[in-house]
Amino acid sequence: MAEEASMFSAADIVAQYSPLTGHDLPVRNLPLPPDFAWGTATSAYQIEGGALQDGKGKSIWDVYTHLEPSRTNGQNADVSCDHYNRMPEDVELMASLGVDVYRFSIAWARIIPLGGRDDPANEKGIAFYNHLIDRLLARGIQPVATLYHWDTPQALYERYGAMLNTDEFRADFERYARLCFERFGDRVKKWVTFNEPYISSIFAHLNGTLAPGHCREAGTDTKTEPWRVGHTLLLSHATVVEVYAKEFQSSQQGEISVVLNGHYYEPYDASKQADIDAAERRMVFYIGWFGDPIYLGKDYPDEMREYLGSRLPAFTAEERELLRRTAHINAFYGMNHYSTKYARALPDPPADNDWTGNIEESAVNSEGKEVGPVSGLGWLRLAPEGFRKLLNWVWRRYHLPIVITENGCPCPGEDDVAVAVDDKFRQRYLGLYLDAISRAIYTDGVPVTGYYVWSLMDNFEWSAGYGPRYGIVHVDFATLKRTPKNSAYYLRDTFKSRRATST
């Protein structure tokens, strides 16, 4: 894209290929396309509260956060940000920040309390999302709805193990999705089926750090069950995509896809071919696992088949055809990305339930170089060049426009309210990652169409409870008062200026 590359000064071009890291890179406020969309993102369980209000059923997180001993720092999201009751205030807050898009998730158990295809719907829950969507549109904000953000109805887990039973879950998810399309699809024009299926597969069914914490139960099989869960999610996604395309898309004129998460991986020792190969293999195991079947309509990556053998489920001929038919319907690549890591090939044989490809991840390479400055969490480092490389990796592999559906960070020392509001680390992080997007678009030719910051406001961060604060709006969890942080105003102003200079 030679013409667009001319927007950069010579200093910009040099900076793109300089050895500077996130430690010393300057924010350049590089341009973005005039129609580039900026938004905020949340998920239902993390912000809504109203745990059992107005007929809502229990989700696996409603149960998991009340287990003894606690697996979530003794905290739960029964109230959280109380968005269920304060939604109008939150929509007005977004409007004041000039937000174009709001990506939210629908709580399955709020609209079908027991979750199943023969279970009754909850009209009060449906009314809440109708009111949310209408308010967003009235304020000029595009609603982007995620059908599933980790909160399976508890009743389905108790009935048949939820995602561990492919046929049952697939049928129930199809009915739930169809209900959402019927009730909300006349106004929602961008849909996401699943948020981060990798996390549901590995962290919920192998590591056990997220609900339902399945691997901690007696009789679980961590060698095969996480891959079965992934298989269920892939087929459920493809089924719902086809339902949308056949029954709703022509009249509703919307689009649908999935959201995949992934770090970028650099080799731990760039002089060793084993580590170079390990970095690529880790990307394939993390992203290609779901991306190849969904976006290419193919089997699992060859590297996974070779490494996992019979642990990885096989697609039937009918399932392969479904994947092939639906691959082209996915309209965009939804990318959740936070950081970059180093990957090192391990010399010893792997554990029999290894899921990494026998790879060790770290924030420091063989030369003692950190991948970037640490945020409020040790694993999340400021590494914008890795982000740019990931955008290129995904574009080369899947050739779909990319929407950044989540990106952000907690700040060091953010427990202090003054630090939280004057969040300089977050502003620099966001500025550098937006610069990386600009370079990917104008220099590399990668079509990135939008950026949704994680998150609109501080919320319940799963097993970490209320510790990490990712929000661009501070929430006092005692009073529930919302206070925009300086990063909120930074994003409002930077998108005005970046898009203005790109015309």
The answer to whether 196 is a known catalytic residue is yes
Q: How far is CA 214 from the centre of its chain?
A: 21
| Chain position carrying tokens 């809440």 | 128
* Pairing mode of beta strands 101-105, 402-406: unpaired
Bond from prior residue into 226 cis (ω within 30 degrees of 0): no
Distance of CA 91 to the CA centre of its chain: 21
Residues 121 and 117: their CA atoms lie apart, in Å, by 10
Q: Which of 72, 12, 308, 107 is nearest to 210 (CA)?
A: 72
Residue 306 burial class via C-beta count within 10 angstroms: exposed 0-12, middle 13-18, buried 19 and up? exposed
Residue 108's alpha-carbon distances to 113, 441, 460, in angstroms, are 7, 36, 18
Contact 173, 240 (CB under 8 A): yes
H/E run at residue 404: strand 402-406
Helix H or strand E encompassing 62: helix 60-64
Q: Is 123 a catalytic residue?
A: no
DSSP per position, 131-174: HHHHHHHHTT-EEEEEEESS--BHHHHHHH-GGGSHHHHHHHHH
* Choice among 225, 406, 414, 461 that is catalytic: 406
Task: Compute the distance between CA of residue 409 and CA of residue 381 in angstroms, rounded to an integer.
Answer: 9
Q: How far apart are CA 304 and CA 357, in angstroms?
A: 8
DSSP H or E segment with residue 384: helix 384-398
Q: In this structure, is the dihedral angle defined by the CA atoms of residues 201, 205, 207 and 210, taken in order, positive or negative?
A: positive
Q: Helix count (H) and strand count (E) of the chain?
A: 20, 13
Check: CB of residue 86 under 8 Å from CB of residue 131.
Answer: no
Find the catalytic residue in 48, 168, 196, 225: 196
* Cβ count within 10 A of residue 73: 13
What is the dihedral sign for C-alpha 476, 477, 481, 483? positive
Catalytic residues: 196, 406
